[in-house]
Amino acid sequence: MQRNFGGRRALLGAAAGATLLAAPPPRQAAAAAGLQRLVEHPQPVPLPEGLAFTDAEGRPTGFEAFRGQGLVVNFWATWCPPCVAEMPALDRLQAQVAKDGIAVLALSNDRGGRAQVAPFYERTGLRHLGIWLDPRGATGRGLQVRVLPTTLVIDRHGQEVARLMGEAAWDAPAAVAAIRRLTRTPAPTTTTTRS
pLDDT digits (tens, 9 = 90+) for 136-161: 999 999 999 999 999 999 999 999 99
pLDDT in tens, 68-119: 999 999 999 999 999 999 999 999 999 999 999 999 999 999 999 999 999 9
pTM of the model: 0.80
Q: Is 32 helix (H, G, I), strand (E, B) or coil?
A: helix
Kindly state the DSSP code that residue 67 receives in the 8-state scheme. Answer: T
Please tell me the predicted confidence (pLDDT) of residue 185: 63
Query: What is the 3-class SS of 87-129, one letter each residue?
Result: HHHHHHHHHHHHHHCEEEEEEECCCCCHHHHHHHHHHHCCCCC
Weakest-pLDDT range from 25-34, 114-123, 140-149, 163-172:
25-34
Provide the terminal-to-terminal Cα distance of the chain, rounded to the nearest Å: 61
Q: Is residue 24 predicted with pLDDT exceeding 70?
A: no
Please tell me the predicted confidence (pLDDT) of residue 33: 72
Which of 64, 74, 79 is CA-nearest to residue 157? 64
